[in-house]
Amino acid sequence: MLPYRATINFINSTNIANWHTPPICYIHYYRAFILVKIELTEYKEVTKREKVTIGYKCDNCGKIHNGNSMPDDWHKFSGHHNSWGNDSCDSYEYYTACSPECYAKLLRKAVEEFEEYSDAEIDDFEIDFAKRMVSFLNAL
Ligand SMILES: [Zn+2]
């Protein structure tokens, strides 16, 4: 027995109506009327390098939590604007806060960053509400 498995798919004009494949297959069809695909496979051990999460860092105080998930008592939020132009999709900024105190400081920082945009949103707050939230937190 051979050390590999051969898969042969034979497709002819009688079943072309059943194709749910990208148009590239039709190019093969017009060229040859018969499409034969052969794949040789075997099982191998492979080593891959992947980027994995090993921890989280508070963007305000720099506190680090080791692990692949963020603690439930931390909060991650984003800020962005929707102004016309290519830069709106690049405007997303992400903030990670380890505590309510750090959240208040990061919210203030995000408001300062986006206050020139009337259509900005920070942590799902409209910018005007986010400004009021910062004023409220400053008064505490
Ligand atoms: Zn912090």
> Model confidence over 51-72: pLDDT tens digits?
999 999 999 999 999 999 999 9
pLDDT at 83: 82
Report d(CA 24, CA 87) in Å as an integer. 35
Q: Three-class SS of residue 58? A: coil
Under the banding of pLDDT at 50, 70 and 90, the label for residue 35 is: low
| Residue 51 Cα to ligand 1 middle (Å) | 24
| Residue 134 Cα to ligand 1 middle (Å) | 17
Among 6-15, 46-55, 119-128, which is the least confidently predicted range? Answer: 6-15
pLDDT at 8: 46
pTM over 0.75: no
Residue 10 has pLDDT above 60, yes or no: no
Residue 7 has pLDDT above 50, yes or no: no
Percent of the chain at pLDDT exceeding 70: 70
Backbone angles phi, psi at 20, to 5 degrees: -125, 45
- Alpha-helix runs per DSSP H in 1-140: 24-32, 100-114, 127-139
Greatest mean pLDDT among 11-20, 23-32, 48-57 lies in 48-57
Report d(CA 113, CA 107) in Å as an integer. 10
Q: 30 vs 76, which has greater pLDDT?
A: 76
| Residue 126 Cα to ligand 1 middle (Å) | 24
| Residue 61 Cα to ligand 1 middle (Å) | 4
| Residue 74 Cα to ligand 1 middle (Å) | 9
pLDDT at 27: 47
Q: What is the mean pLDDT of residues 16-45?
A: 61
| Residue 82 Cα to ligand 1 middle (Å) | 28
Residue 33, token pair as written in the block: 């009327």
pLDDT at 82: 84
